[in-house]
Chain A
Amino acid sequence: MSSKTKSADTQEPDTRKYLFTSADWDFETLKSTYDAIEDIALNELKLDVYPNQVEVITSEQMLDAYSSIGMPLMYHHWSFGKRFVRDDIMYRKGYQGLAYEIVINSNPCISYVMEENTVVMQTLVMAHAAFGHNHFFKNNYLFKQWTDAEGILDYLQFAKRYIAKCEDRYGFDAVERVLDAAHALMEQGVNRYSHPEKPNLAAELARERERAKYEDETYNDLWRTLPQPDLDDQDIDELKRKMRIEERRAQFGLPEENLLYFLEKNAPTLHAWERELLRIVRNIGQYFYPQKQTKVMNEGCACYVHYAIMNSLYDKGLISEGAMMEFIDYHSRVVFQAEYDDQRYSGFNPYALGFAMMQDIHRMCIDPTEEDHKWFPDIAGNGQPVETLKEAWAHYRDESFILQFLSPKLMRDMRMFMINDQSTTPHLEVAAIHDDNGYRNVRRSLARMHDISVREPDMQVVDVDIRGNRQLYIQHTEHEGIRLEASEAEMTLGYIGQLWGYGVTLQAVDNETGEILHEMNFKPENDGTA
């Protein structure tokens, strides 16, 4: 397995043992190949996976799946149409190929494979998706904690029907308005620190009925005629005022970083079905949240697994030398990392970084150097590469994984260096490189680049003037003076205002001094008398 691509030089290969000999696949070979892979995955690597379901689709269906963020069923929205149109053109013009597979974190684990793949590619894809990704989905703590593989397809079914029903009842435009706004806030619609309740089709339907029923029962036209309470009394002393602020912040559970959740629960003018739409978008965003944090690990795990399985198949004489060559060609294209000054460079390739790190850990477990013993005393030379990796796959996310396991050797191999970019200086500075002084800085910096809480802006709902003009206050905490993209922030603020129905203020606050740096305001057109 240790990157042995040639073995048994001495004896003639036995072609009768081959799983396949031609380039084309059929369902028989697919099945027998799967069985061989499964044998290696379960008995040699001892992976722990959901049952597998492999679905064969055409390239057109792959494009369809692309546009609906890889899910087999999805509600309709124009942005998916936009993505489809763009992918379609890119594909037709040859700017971009299609993925060989798409895998869905569900139980059973569904992998889509394209019909035009060769049999070697199908083998690779099954090893990669049906065992690599599958194991990761089932075992990583983030997925365990945040997503519900059992219920996701049911939930999407519910969401799709519900939104279609809303479109019928309230019109395309009304639904589109809410979905547009919700999509804009999707990244701010996840719970980062607590367990979300698991969506469940029956419970969702029941809850939705309950909500509608409650509204019907408690509806009383008289409420509309009540006189508005008086505005704040000017004489109330400072202390009382502060206490009231604290009180109302507590009442609304502020500060709240899940903007969509806050709006769903508290926006005064939304209808029940609009809240339900926000909830759907929020739940889907939550489902994808772990994927965003584990790109490097997830792909690294899948690449490591497929590499191990393919080599094992070859060592057992189950695939021919030609098939192995074809595999290596695909593999090396997938894990290719362009250098920073290369035209093809567009950031770190998660496949390349992940695979290199997994292979590096494997090397350290089996064949450690002096340096490895110093840096990784726990794992160096423990002789249990797969167990060590499984441990890592289960308990880390990209940021912590890089911080923990990136070795000096890999930093040297990939020739990593760290740039410090201060907008106040006219030049960039090389802050650290792959040497004794720099290892820790480079590693920390790379880990931060993969930290979603650093990559995505820090947004919170901080206050709402419930007795006054119902102004909503949202705060962006600026770290290191990095601002929001202004034009987009303005549009997004407009969307928040649309959902909230009253004025919204976005304040940028320095994370160290707490001072308000700048402000952006949204005023509703109808002046809050909706």
Chain B
Amino acid sequence: MLYIVDRRKNPTGKSLGNRQRFMRRAKAQIKKAVEDTIRTRGITDISSGDQITIPSKTLKEPGFHHAGRGGNRNYVLPGNKKFVQGDRIARPQGGDGGAGGSKASPDGDGEDEFQFTLSRDEFLDIFFEDLELPDLLKKSLKQTTAFRNARAGYSVEGSPANLSLVRTMRNSLARRIGLRRPKTAEIRELEDKIAALQAKAEKRPSGKLTKLDDEKLHGFLADLEEAKRRMKAIPFIDPIDTRFNQFQQIPTPNTQAVMFCLMDVSGSMSEQMKELAKRFFMLLHLFLHRRYKHVEVVFIRHTSRASEVDEETFFYSRETGGTIVSTALEEMKKVLKDRYPTDQWNIYAAQASDGDNYSNDGAKCTALLAEDLLPKCQYYAYIEITDEREAEIFAAAEGETALWKSYAPLASNNQRFALKRVTKASDIFPVFRELFAKNRAEAQS
């Protein structure tokens, strides 16, 4: 007796629970691997999910097993070619081929590292774990000022623009069939038959039809009249057929953010420094994307003048000139005023610079920030990028750049403002984490 059961329709993913337990178990290692990956890899493809390699040691399932070597042991192998009893063979080095291969790992289970692929979401969750947007309780987040149109079924009244043709025609067709409204084709057929009979009458010498045909003709004429009457009485589309698409205004939380990238592009910023700045900006962008539905980016670069530019120009074109930071802040203020009202947008800003500034400009920057920009921003991060060699000198001399000097007092009394120094690519992520750690006070201590 045979039972055949088709299990293909059964839900798959029976191992999901196992995978989750595995992820939990491996979490610490996975996290470390993720951070390593970030350090070594271009920032642009960071969100694509990743092949993660974690050392399998920590996921070992130990047991009592015999060691692979040592002692006195015999084993049988197939495929003898030239050996006779008593032959001596040099002990093969390593586990590659030959007799050594058979004993190197009795289970054939000797992997050192364990590779697997994280899904994009798993990757980003780990990537941004413990990070929180500062000051998330902004009013506009709670206020439901924005509305979104959502479909809400059909209604019998509405504006002609919202007429749902399919629904309307369906109703009309049902009504016409139900009330037996004659079809145009049927009427045409009757007319054709009448015309044919009349033509027949004209051909005859008497000009009249036979009695049989005459009866037929009258029958057709009566049918036709009845059909036309019904057609008139039963309209093709009746007002009761019409249906309109209905929309509802659904209030949505304000989930859009704008991110300002400000960067000094004067000659003193090397390509390498710009690359570091770029990494930071990309991280911020990615992070905001996790939290907000819609994120816009504004790039403002400055030398002694500032202008809003596109991404390509921002990162890759060079300009010469002095450095006046306040111009960029002015530009940001202008853009904010023109395009991003604070009640609709969550505003984030990140500024990258090597710290140079025109000596008289510091006070102006501070004032602009404190009075105009910081009250509007959710968060303002200043990243100072220094050359690695310079960094050592500065560290030794306790040196501070012009911009740092003017910004430092601001940071000490404003929660929304933070500043950090970065010297190499591997600093970026730790600094980023520190800036956005759930509890910043803890992270800094």
Contacts and interface: CB of A to CB of B under 8 A. Distances in A.
Contacts of A68: 14-15, 18
A449 B75 contact: yes
Interface string B75-97: 11111110111111111000001
B116 A89 contact: yes
Interface bin, chain B: 35 or more
Interface string A425-462: 01111111111011000100110110000011101000
A347 B100 CA distance: 11
B73 interface: yes
B78 A414 contact: yes
A396 interface: no
Contacts of A77: 18, 21
A12 B87 CA distance: 56
A151 interface: no
A435 B73 CA distance: 21
A182 to B, nearest CB: 11
B101 interface: yes
B78 A184 contact: no
A56 B12 CA distance: 13
**Dominant SS among interface residues on chain A:** mixed
Interface in B255-295: none
B6 to A, nearest CB: 5
B25 to A, nearest CB: 4
Nearest to A448: B74
A64 B12 CA distance: 8
Contacts of A45: none
Interface string A139-170: 00000000000000000000000000000000
Given A84-B19, A491-B60, A115 B76 contact: no
Contact of B18 (A27, A84, A188): A84
Contact of B62 (A184, A433, A455): A184
B18 to A, nearest CB: 3
Contacts, number: 278
A172 interface: yes
A193 interface: no
B96 to A, nearest CB: 9
Contacts of A339: 78-79
A423 B63 contact: no
Contact of A78 (B8, B21, B83): B21
Contact of A446 (B76, B81, B101): B76
Given A81-B23, A417-B76, A38 B2 contact: yes
Contacts of B87: 429-430
Contact of B61 (A79, A85, A337, A445): A79
Nearest to A421: B73
Interface string B49-80: 00000000001111111111111111111111
B76 A416 contact: yes
Nearest to A492: B62
A482 B3 contact: no
Contacts of B8: 56-58, 61, 115
A60 interface: yes
Contact of A486 (B67, B71, B74, B106): B67
A478 B83 CA distance: 31
Interface stretch (A46-54, A199-207, A225-233, A304-312): A46-54
A339 B24 CA distance: 43
Nearest to B90: A427
B89 to A, nearest CB: 5
Interface string B3-17: 111111010111101
Contacts of A81: 15, 17-23, 25
A424 B261 CA distance: 70
Contacts of A485: 65-68
A494 B90 CA distance: 38
A211 B269 CA distance: 75
B278 to A, nearest CB: 33
B116 A432 contact: no
B106 to A, nearest CB: 7
B178 interface: no
Contact of A483 (B23, B25, B70): B70
A34 interface: yes
Given A187-B63, A342-B79, A64 B15 contact: yes
Question: Lowest 6 A-B CB distances belong to which pairs?
Answer: A339-B79, A81-B22, A81-B18, A482-B71, A481-B71, A491-B62
15 contacts: A53-B4, A55-B5, A61-B10, A67-B18, A68-B14, A84-B15, A89-B115, A339-B79, A340-B101, A427-B90, A433-B85, A442-B76, A483-B66, A487-B62, A491-B62
